[in-house]
Amino acid sequence: MGSFLRKQPSYLFILIILHLVAHEARTLSSDGEALLAFKKAVTNSDGVFLNWREQDADPCNWKGVRCDSHSKRVINLILAYHRLVGPIPPEIGRLNQLQTLSLQGNSLYGSLPPELGNCTKLQQLYLQGNYLSGYIPSEFGELVELVALDLSSNTLSGSVPHSLDKLSKLTSFNVSMNFLTGAIPSSGSLVNFNETSFVGNLGLCGKQINSVCKDALQSPSNGLQSPSPDDMINKRNGKNSTRLVISAVATVGALLLVALMCFWGCFLYKNFGKKDMRGFRVELCGGSSVVMFHGDLPYSSKDILKKLETMDEENIIGAGGFGTVYKLAMDDGNVFALKRIVKTNEGLDRFFDRELEILGSVKHRYLVNLRGYCNSPSSKLLIYDYLQGGSLDEVLHEKSEQLDWDARINIILGAAKGLSYLHHDCSPRIIHRDIKSSNILLDGSFEARVSDFGLAKLLEDEESHITTIVAGTFGYLAPVHRVYAVWQSHREDRCLQFWGSGT
């Protein structure tokens, strides 16, 4: 008995050691902790994180995660199109063995973490189709193994960093559809890419997009002596005076321009019909094709084109921020609404077609279906279902009959359900950005259908990034837009939709 008591402390010590070893074995790896930090930073509605458990020894069996079979380090993180909302946390940079990071098609916002530059084994980085803003970190130049980099369709600003010149293995590069400005680096790996990698960034210049930078037009050195301090002061004072004069002239010019635009708008409104239809016929004769999204229409492309050629100014039923609307009546009695959008940039034609395919795939009870489109040399002719009740704006302001409160509530509920579907259930999600009473159409039973969804973003990408047409309608900005001038995040954009319904 005495000998057992003497040996007991040794047994206890061994048990404690075994317990600590077992506990250490169950402790989550550093890669797992980094991934849990990512999970904490974002929200998700499709359950992709359900098996991401803190008690696991490693994250290798987590959905979207792939590890090296020997080291158990994370090498792939693929969470594309999983309805992720939130910022990318800096902890993502702790995955220093990562080879593929794919987060495209979500609703991620905020800036790109410079810590991603620590992931020097990265070969593929896909972050396109989110709401990421701010600058492209110069630290991305440390990703020397990178083969593919796609940051397109975000809201990134600033210049393309020169550090990306070092990415000698880069074979796929895309920063299109952002707000980037300045000169594209003219040396290193980026010289191998053409304008398709940069399209939609109106402030960029460089030989890749055949746009000469302003600085290149000025001689870098002409051999003259440096000006004296007095000369510099006089020059600065002269510049200030010149700026005041220019500002005054610009203000007066802007006022005159607005007045001229109002006059010209009234003139075009009176004479628009015949001129527009004349161009309409000419462009159809120049060659057109029809793309249909839903197979439930008993018409061939030839039938539709033949009907389009018979239309005249009497078929015009409206004009809005996106173009003229025509009434297209087929021989069997079916009626459709035809929206004509004039092309302004031929280089974006394929992008436009791809986005229209996405919009055409959306079908919902409270949305106006996009049935197809006619692709002509100078415009897109979008074919929608025709709603005989007109727009909510017409019912509220032009028609004599008054809507009772039950009807108003039913309309706003229908519109809200349509917007909710766009925001939460579509893949990818669609932000309307031009919701107002004229874009809420009514059927014969006064049931609401949301129209023109997706067009504001599509046309903004094609034409310009920051104007008062940012929401699709000239002169109209929802109150949140007036404060920020351009949307800064996905959450902000969803909330402002309900300012403009007018019900």
| Cβ(120)–Cβ(144) below 8 Å | yes
CB 209 within 8 A of CB 198: yes
Average pLDDT over the chain, rounded to an integer: 75
56 given a catalytic annotation: no
pLDDT in tens, 27-36: 788 999 999 9
Other C-beta atoms lying within 10 Å of the C-beta of residue 157: 17
For the cut 60, the answer to whether the pLDDT of residue 436 exceeds it is yes
Q: How far apart are CA 107 and CA 42, in angstroms?
A: 10
Res 458 pLDDT > 90: no
Which structure tokens are listed for 277? Answer: 């239809």
SS3 123: coil
| Percent with pLDDT over 70 in the chain | 65
pLDDT tens by residue, 186-243: 888 899 999 889 988 888 999 989 988 886 555 444 444 444 444 444 545 555 556 6
d(CA 339, CA 383): 7
Residue 75 scores a pLDDT above 90: yes
434, 452, 461, 493: which one is catalytic?
Answer: 434
Strand-pair category, 370-375 with 289-292: antiparallel
Categorize the per-residue pLDDT at 493 as very low, low, confident or very high, splitting at 50, 70 and 90: very low
| CA distance to 398, 411, 416, 449, 479, per residue, from 503 (Å) | 14, 8, 11, 14, 16
Closest among 457, 278, 425 to 356, alpha carbons compared = 457
Measured distance CA(136)–CA(152) in Å, rounded: 12
Between 265 and 412, residue with greater pLDDT: 412
The answer on pLDDT for 274 being more than 70 is no
Helix (H, G, I), strand (E, B) or coil at 389: coil
Q: Cα dist. 456→90, 206, 432, 499 in Å?
A: 32, 28, 7, 16
- Read off the pLDDT of residues 335-391 as tens digits, 9 standing for 90 and up: 888 888 776 555 556 666 777 777 777 788 888 888 888 877 667 788 888 888 888
Q: ω into residue 428 within 30 of 0, thus cis?
A: yes
Interstrand relation of 100-102 and 124-126 (parallel, antiparallel or unpaired): parallel
The yes-or-no verdict on residue 283 having pLDDT over 70 is no
- Element (H or E) spanning 81, and its range? none
Query: Which SS3 state, helix, strand or coil, does residue 225 take?
Result: coil
320 phi, psi to nearest 5 deg: -135, -165
The pLDDT value recorded for residue 264 is 59
Determine what percent of the chain is predicted with pLDDT higher than 90. Answer: 24
Pairing of strands 370-375, 335-342: unpaired
Which pLDDT score, from 0 to 100, does residue 123 have? 95
Lowest mean pLDDT among 9-18, 264-273, 339-348: 264-273
Determine the pLDDT at residue 478. 42
Contacts for 328 with CB less than 8 Å, ≥ 6 apart: 307, 308, 311, 315, 335, 336, 337, 338, 383, 386
CB pairs under 8 A, 24+ apart, for 276-282? 276/313, 276/316, 276/324, 276/340, 277/311, 277/312, 277/313, 277/315, 277/316, 279/378, 280/308, 280/311, 280/340, 281/309
Among the ranges given (143-152, 155-164, 307-316), the one the predictor scored with the smallest mean pLDDT: 307-316
Q: What is the mean pLDDT of residues 422-442?
A: 79
What pLDDT is stored for residue 476 in this prediction?
36
Model confidence band, residue 399 (pLDDT cutoffs 50, 70, 90): low
At 470, list the tokens.
């940012």
pTM of the complete model = 0.47
Q: Is 363 annotated as a binding residue?
A: no
What is the rounded CA–CA span in Å between residue 92 and residue 483?
A: 33
Ordered by where they begin, the domains of the chain are 12-215 (3.80.10.10), 387-503 (1.10.510.10)
- Which secondary-structure segment (H or E) carries 5? helix 2-26
